[in-house]
């Protein structure tokens, strides 16, 4: 990892050639808090690696514990074979749709984190349990203490891969509309439609024991909001 920025700032990730976008680099930021916000809001990440000489990209769930990203898989999956291998991870939130007067300028506001690193398969039961608890709490804060922990048999079936957050960037686009000046008078609607992930009302399991009430952390459940 060759750093481009020589001045270290603990509030930012070090910018490298690989973490610098080739298109619209001005949209990139290395701010740790902004990166963490996207990772913590998103429910799905995509992990890319090489297997048998060909690229593979797989979706999975994730959680962040400090500067470590944990991803979840089965002990029989390809994730369990990634120990020591280079990987790329993308985490993207789509915040809306931009409708322009021309085809070319239609777009989508987004926030996207790209992570480069080396995968480490978690071997320690203690770290694996902590990572699994983080994965559960990533979905709903406090859920891990409100449910049964994994058994040793369940631990053996689960693969947890850790990736250190060192070479990271965040690229974002707002809701602005880019238009050619000569198109501004065209008789076509242009504008922005916000998109959000909206949770419906929780539906209790039919086999739920009598007297068990819905936990407070599920009331008004949401995953954050858009950034226009």
Any idea where the domains of the chain sit in the sequence? 25-218
pLDDT score for 166: 96
CA 7/CA 3 separation, integer angstroms: 10
| Residue segments in the chain with a per-residue pLDDT below the cut of 50 | 225-228
pLDDT score for 59: 97
Fold for the domain defined by 25-218: Pnp Oxidase; Chain A (2.30.110)
CA 67/CA 32 separation, integer angstroms: 9
DSSP 31: B
pLDDT score for 160: 97
pLDDT score for 72: 95
Across the strands, what pairs with 63? 70
Q: Give Cα separations from 211 to 147, 191, 202, 216 (angstroms).
A: 16, 49, 16, 15
């Amino acid at each position: 990892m060759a750093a481009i920025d020589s001045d270290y700032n603990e509030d930012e990730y070090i910018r490298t050639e690989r973490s610098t976008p080739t298109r619209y680099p001005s949209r990139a930021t290395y701010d740790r808090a902004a990166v963490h916000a996207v990772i913590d809001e998103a429910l799905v990440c995509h992990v890319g690696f090489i297997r048998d000489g060909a690229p593979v990209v797989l979706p999975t769930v994730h959680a962040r514990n400090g500067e470590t990203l944990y991803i979840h898989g089965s002990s029989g999956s390809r994730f369990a074979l990634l120990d020591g291998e280079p990987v790329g991870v993308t985490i993207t939130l789509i915040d809306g749709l931009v409708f322009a007067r021309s085809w070319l300028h239609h777009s989508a506001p987004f926030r996207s984190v790209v992570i480069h690193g080396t995968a480490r398969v978690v071997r320690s039961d203690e770290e694996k349990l902590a990572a699994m608890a983080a994965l559960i709490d990533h979905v709903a804060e406090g859920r891990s203490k409100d449910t049964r922990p994994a058994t040793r048999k369940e631990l053996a079936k689960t693969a947890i891969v850790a990736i250190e957050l060192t070479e990271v960037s965040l690229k974002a686009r707002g809701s602005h509309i880019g238009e050619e000046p000569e198109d501004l008078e065209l008789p076509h609607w242009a504008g922005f439609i916000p998109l959000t992930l909206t949770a419906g009302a929780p539906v209790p399991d039919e086999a739920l024991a009598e007297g068990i009430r819905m936990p407070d952390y599920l009331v008004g459940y949401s995953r954050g909001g858009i950034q226009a």
